[in-house]
Every structure is written in structure tokens, then in C-alpha cells.
């Protein structure tokens, strides 16, 4: 797949209390903590990565849990909902589990011919569980309470809310080779054929909506996946030629990143598959210890004292 965008790589959101965030995603939803590190720009704040067994691109939801963060507001210029793929017949299990654990959720709905169950995490982040049209053969991470017949398999889709679908759609189709698959009311579904899963970006066009406020319970950015750095730099040039500003390549330890703000205001990232999450931990030990970027390793004692205690 040379010079292809391979769907979603990861999505990054903002949380409040670190322990509450960890408990919800690992215990209530049953995801694996793939990596426990810190924010590159604010090492007194954790950076959590939740995903499947190996942290496969397309399964990774990450958080900056700022303990005293103000509540954000979903709106225009943001990624406003994250969709996870779940197996056929699992939604009743999740309704019961949400009831048991006091999770705020809505009625089962249907969109683009797929059933989905909307819910919110403890910080108010909008998510949904989706039973996809196609068979999703990804191997889910299992826990004692959540087995493979109901477990989250990884991303299904992400929804962007925009005043006007056109400029952002142009980035998806002209630069990233997505295609408009369907339209339903004010929702437009764009999909790439480069991968089977984590392949969908839905755009909700809402000219009357208010702009979002990026803080607690909202998404910070969405990252698209490429195979390697060579492919990444190919897209770097395409984006510059489009007249958009984009960062230089940034080493994020587990992948390399480029960032740019698309015309609708959403922060996009292009992230590589390499080097992956096992570069500093074995597969069995993923997420079990605090990993620091090299520039902060000399300050480990001080950073560990400043970070909130986390009980696993």
C-alpha cells in the first residue's frame, strides 16, 4: 500500500481525573492500557494509550488527563463522536453493563444501515458502539468480564461536525483518497478502500451549530495512519502544495507525527506505524510501567512525585 492513508491511527481526547479515566476504559469498556507515559509538552500530565493487545493502529484512543481541566463543549470544528466496532448481538450486553456501572447512554439507533448505541464517558466524551455492516475480524482484547463475543474491536468511525462539508471533504477525497460512500440527512460518510476497518470519517454538516470549546470531555485531534516515514513525507508535500500549514516530522517515541489544521478547523495528524509500542516494553508488559520521553528521564523522580497516583 504505497503512499496510502490507511484509515485512522489514533484519536486523542482530554479527560479530567486520571484514575477515573483509567478505570472507565480498562475496567468498564475492557480496553488494554497499551502505554502509560506523559504529555511531551507538559510532563506533569499523563498520556494514556488504550487499545487492543498490541496497540494496533486503528484501535488506539489516547488521553491527556488534566486533573483541574474545565469542561469543554462539542461543536463545530471538532471531532464530536467516536465509534467503536462491536460484534453482532452485543448491544444488549453493553446496555446491561452501562446500567450496572452508571454509564450515561442513549437509545439504540440506526444510521447508514448500522445499529449503534451512543454513550458518554465520565468526562462527557461522546462515543458509540457500532455493529458494522461488514464482518470485523480484528481480535479484541478480553478481560474476565468482557469476552471476544462482545468486546470492542477497535475504531469503526469518527464524526466531525462542520459548518460546511465541502472544504474538509476535499482534503479527504483529493489528498487522502477517501470516497463519499453515502449521505443520510445532514451526515456524509467518507470511506477509504485501503483498509477494512477504522476506515470511516462521517461529517455532520450543521450551519447553525456553535463552535466547540476544546477542553475536558472533547477530542483534541484525530490521527490518520501511514505505513512509514517515507509515506508520511509524501503527504507532507501534498499538504504544503494544497496551501496548508503543516509541522515538521515529530518523534513521538512510538510513531512519527505531522500535524495540520484542516479547513474546517479540526486538528489532523498523520502518524506512522513504526516503531510501535513494543520498542520499550515487551508485549506482555505493555502499559505496566511509566515510560518517559528521553528528555525527561533525568527528571523521573520529580515527575513521578508530581503525577497523580494510579491504582491498577
Mean pLDDT by 10 residues, the chain (312 residues): 91 98 98 97 96 98 96 97 98 98 98 98 98 95 97 98 98 98 98 97 96 97 98 97 96 98 97 97 97 96 95 89
pLDDT tens-digit series, residues 111-162? 999 999 999 999 999 999 999 999 999 999 999 999 999 999 999 999 999 9
How far from 103 is each of 94, 123, 129, 210, 291, CA to CA, in Å?
10, 11, 13, 26, 31
List the CATH number of the domain containing 175: 3.10.180.10
Widest distance between CA atoms in the chain = 54
Q: Is residue 130 part of a domain?
A: yes
- 179, with CB counted inside 10 A (0-12, 13-18, 19+), is exposed
The whole-angstrom separation of Cα 168 and Cα 175 is 10
Cis ω before 305 (30° cut-off from 0): no
Q: Is residue 252 part of a domain?
A: yes
Question: What is the predicted pLDDT for the residue at 294?
Answer: 95
pTM over 0.95: yes
DSSP 299: G
Q: Is residue 181 part of a domain?
A: yes
Concatenated DSSP letters for 245-296? --PPPEE-SSEEEEEEE-TTSPEEEEEEEEE-GGGSS-TTTTTSSB---GGG
The whole-angstrom separation of Cα 191 and Cα 53 is 25
Identify the residue whose cell numbers are 506482555.
284
Question: Domain tally for the chain?
Answer: 1
Domain that holds residue 169: 8-306
Is residue 72 within 8 Å of 212, Cβ to Cβ?
yes
> Rg for the chain (alpha carbons), in Å?
18
Is residue 35 within 8 Å of 49, Cβ to Cβ?
yes
Q: Is residue 199 part of a domain?
A: yes
Q: Is residue 311 part of a domain?
A: no
Question: What is the predicted pLDDT for the residue at 1?
Answer: 54
Q: Is residue 123 part of a domain?
A: yes
Identify the residue whose cell numbers are 472544504.
167
Q: Is residue 312 part of a domain?
A: no
Question: What is the predicted pLDDT for the residue at 312?
Answer: 86
Q: Is 88 helix (H, G, I), strand (E, B) or coil?
A: coil
- 178, with CB counted inside 10 A (0-12, 13-18, 19+), is buried
Q: Is residue 1 part of a domain?
A: no
Question: What is the predicted pLDDT for the residue at 54?
Answer: 96
Question: What is the predicted pLDDT for the residue at 186?
Answer: 98
Question: What is the predicted pLDDT for the residue at 131?
Answer: 98
Amino acid at each position: 500500500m504505497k503512499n496510502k492513508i490507511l484509515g485512522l491511527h489514533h484519536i486523542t481526547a482530554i479527560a479530567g481525573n486520571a484514575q477515573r479515566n483509567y478505570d472507565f476504559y480498562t475496567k468498564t469498556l475492557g480496553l488494554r492500557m497499551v502505554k502509560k507515559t506523559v504529555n511531551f509538552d507538559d510532563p506533569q500530565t499523563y498520556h494514556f494509550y488504550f487499545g487492543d493487545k498490541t496497540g494496533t493502529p486503528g484501535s488506539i484512543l489516547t488521553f491527556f488527563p488534566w486533573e483541574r481541566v474545565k469542561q469543554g463543549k462539542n461543536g463545530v470544528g471538532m471531532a464530536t463522536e467516536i465509534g467503536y466496532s462491536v460484534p453482532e448481538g452485543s448491544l444488549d450486553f453493553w446496555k446491561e453493563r452501562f446500567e450496572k456501572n452508571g454509564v450515561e447512554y442513549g437509545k439504540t439507533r440506526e444510521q447508514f444501515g448500522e445499529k449503534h448505541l451512543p454513550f458518554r464517558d465520565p468526562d462527557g466524551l461522546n462515543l458509540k458502539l457500532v455493529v458494522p455492516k461488514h464482518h470485523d475480524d480484528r481480535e479484541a482484547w478480553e478481560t474476565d468480564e468482557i469476552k471476544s463475543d462482545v468486546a470492542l474491536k477497535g475504531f469503526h468511525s469518527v464524526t466531525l461536525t462542520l459548518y460546511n462539508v465541502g472544504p474538509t471533504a476535499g482534503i479527504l477525497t483529493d489528498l487522502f483518497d477517501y470516497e463519499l460512500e453515502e449521505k443520510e440527512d445532514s451526515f456524509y460518510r467518507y470511506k477509504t478502500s485501503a483498509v477494512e476497518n477504522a476506515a470511516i470519517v462521517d461529517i455532520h454538516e450543521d450551519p447553525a451549530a456553535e463552535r466547540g470549546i476544546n477542553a475536558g470531555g472533547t477530542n483534541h485531534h484525530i490521527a490518520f495512519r501511514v505505513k512509514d516515514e517515507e509515506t508520511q513525507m509524501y503527504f507532507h508535500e501534498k499538504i504544503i502544495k494544497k496551501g496548508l500549514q503543516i509541522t515538521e516530522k515529530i518523534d513521538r517515541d512510538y510513531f512519527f507525527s505531522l500535524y495540520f489544521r484542516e479547513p474546517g478547523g479540526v486538528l489532523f495528524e498523520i502518524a506512522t506505524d513504526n516503531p510501535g509500542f513494543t520498542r520499550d516494553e515487551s508485549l506482555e508488559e505493555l502499559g505496566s510501567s511509566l515510560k518517559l520521553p528521553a528528555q525527561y528521564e533525568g527528571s523521573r523522580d520529580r515527575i513521578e512525585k508530581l503525577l497523580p497516583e494510579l491504582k491498577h
